[in-house]
Amino acid sequence: MKLVALSKSSDALRYARELLARCETGEVVAVTAIEERPGGTYQLAGSKTSSRTQTAGMLLDAAITRLADE
């Protein structure tokens, strides 16, 4: 398990690309993301799947959502 704090969208995109490559090789099969929201609340999203395609899709969705929020 690896904990990574991402404060800038460029960091998030770079990390998402790295994770995507690791998904394609089968190294990553689960992702959990905790997002700090305005007002001091947090949003939790997680996945565990044997499908590399599903995991990669979830990573791309998270990156797109983060860009849309900025």
- ∠ CA 3-11-48 to the nearest 5 degrees? 45
Write out pLDDT tens, residues 3-46.
666 666 677 778 878 888 887 887 877 777 767 777 777 776 66
Q: What is the pLDDT of residue 25?
A: 84
> pTM above 0.85?
no
Which amino acid is located at 50 in the chain? Answer: S
Write out pLDDT tens, residues 1-14.
566 666 666 777 78
For residue 34, what are the CA distances in angstroms to 39, 41, 68?
15, 10, 17
Region of 57 (left: φ > 0; alpha: ψ -120 to 50; beta: rest) is: alpha
User: pLDDT band for position 49 (50/70/90)?
Assistant: low
